[in-house]
Amino acid sequence: MPAALITGGSRGIGRGIAEQYARDGYDVAVNYHSSETAAEDVVETIRAETDGDAVAIQADVSDSGAVESLVETTVETFGGLDHVVNNAAISQHKHTPELTVEEFDTLMQINATSVFSVTKAAHEHLLESAVGEGPSVINLSSRLAHAGAPHEPHYAASKAGIIAITKSHAKEFGPDIRVNAIAPGYIVTDMTDRTNTAEDKRERREKLPLQRLGEPEDVGQAAAYLRDARFVTGETLNVNGGQDMV
Ligand code: NAP
């Protein structure tokens, strides 16, 4: 069975993507940072509800040594690696006067540098993939990459950088590996629940043409499309309920 590595697969969008890939016939490495119980729950769900296998692997994606071990463990467990989803990230609501340079750098390491280091570690294994539609990398950006975020400039910068890494790797890896990004709008997860009230959510929902907020499964479906889309590379797919139409 082909194999996929999902960083930050323990919760939210990463969990939605992990379960989608498992339903589509992939073994899944579910990376997590600190939520071991949640990651093991994803593994149990995949084993119970699909024909695929799954494994939870702890690694801080901002640590390049840990990233190399993460990729090696995935390959040893499943005998290869066919798809990578760089999903792990943090958000941190702080305006510039309160935001330190160290906090800016730390978030960039977790959110953006990790996309480079995970893809770099996976590259040689993806080249060996014999999966039908060809190996792929999908990177989680955000609509804030385009819109900007006055309450978290470092987060917006990290997500804009991810689009540039996506295009660069799509060109560099050309015929061998397709590389695409997803820019979600508001998806209901721990990340958004932490900073939004029920009233915030109602206001956001009412402004959307689709009149509902996104669910992790919506992003899972988009990731499956990009994973299988044989003539699509270097693209950023907006998954935002119609919030921005440019
Ligand atoms: P979330 O609910 O906060 O989950 C974040 C995931 O990333 C968790 O699995 C977490 O692991 C993992 N993670 C965080 N730091 C890590 C680290 N240093 N090393 C390894 N794993 C780490 O976030 P989400 O809302 O699902 O977001 C997923 C992705 O979509 C992110 O890239 C985010 O920027 C992007 N996005 C989200 C939205 C939205 O509305 N939710 C919108 C646009 C873009 P633990 O469970 O172990 O902590």
What residue ranges define each of the domains in the chain, with the CATH number in brackets?
3-245 (3.40.50.720)
Model pLDDT, residue 158:
98
The reported pLDDT for the residue numbered 245 is: 87
For residue 172, the CA-to-ligand 1 centroid distance in Å is 27
Give pLDDT, residue 89. Answer: 98
Q: What value does the mean pLDDT take over residues 127-148?
A: 96
Q: Compute, in angstroms, the gap from residue 14 CA to the centroid of ligand 1.
A: 7
Atom of ligand 1 nearest to the CA of 38: 46
Give me the mean pLDDT over the 47-63 stretch. 97
Q: Is the sign of the CA dihedral 124, 171, 229, 243 positive or negative?
A: positive
Average pLDDT over residues 20-44: 98
User: pLDDT tens digit string along 146-198?
Assistant: 999 999 999 999 999 999 999 999 999 999 999 999 999 999 999 999 899 99
Q: What is the mean pLDDT of residues 135-146?
A: 98
Q: Rounded mean pLDDT of 43-50?
A: 98
Report how far residue 156's alpha carbon sits from residue 160's, in angstroms, rounded to the nearest whole number: 6
Q: What is the pLDDT of residue 210?
A: 97
* Ligand 1 pocket mutation pick from 40, 63, 191 by most atoms within 8 angstroms of CB: 191
pLDDT of 53: 97
Interval between CA 88 and ligand 1 midpoint (Å): 5
Residue nearest ligand 1's atom 35 by CA: 140
Percent of residues, the chain, with pLDDT higher than 70: 100
The CA 111 to ligand 1 mean position distance, Å, reads 9
Write the residue with the smallest CA distance to atom 3 of ligand 1. 191
Report CA Rg, the chain: 17
DSSP code of 79?
Answer: S
What pLDDT sits at residue 55?
A: 98
For the record, the structure tokens of 17 come out as 């993507």
pLDDT tens for residues 95-116? 999 999 999 999 999 999 999 9
Residue closest by Cα to atom 31 of ligand 1 = 89
Q: Kindly tell me if the per-residue pLDDT of 246 is higher than 80.
A: no
Q: What do you get for the CA distance between the two ends of the chain, in Å?
A: 39
Query: Model pTM greater than 0.95?
Result: yes
| Pocket residues: Cβ below 6 A from ligand 1 | 7-8, 10-14, 31-35, 38, 60-62, 87-90, 110, 140, 142, 184, 186-187, 189-192
Give the DSSP H or E segment for 235: none
Mutate to test the pocket of ligand 1, among 43, 187, 212, 217 (most ligand atoms within 8 A of CB): 187
Encode burial over 13-30: b for 16+ CB neighbours within 10 A, e otherwise: bbbbbbbbbbebebbbbb
Mean pLDDT of the region 32-59: 98
d(CA 29, CA 12): 16
Q: How far, in Å, are 6, 53, 75, 125, 181 from residue 23 at the CA level?
A: 14, 11, 20, 23, 21
| 32 a catalytic residue | no
174 C-alpha vs ligand 1 centroid, how far in Å?
28
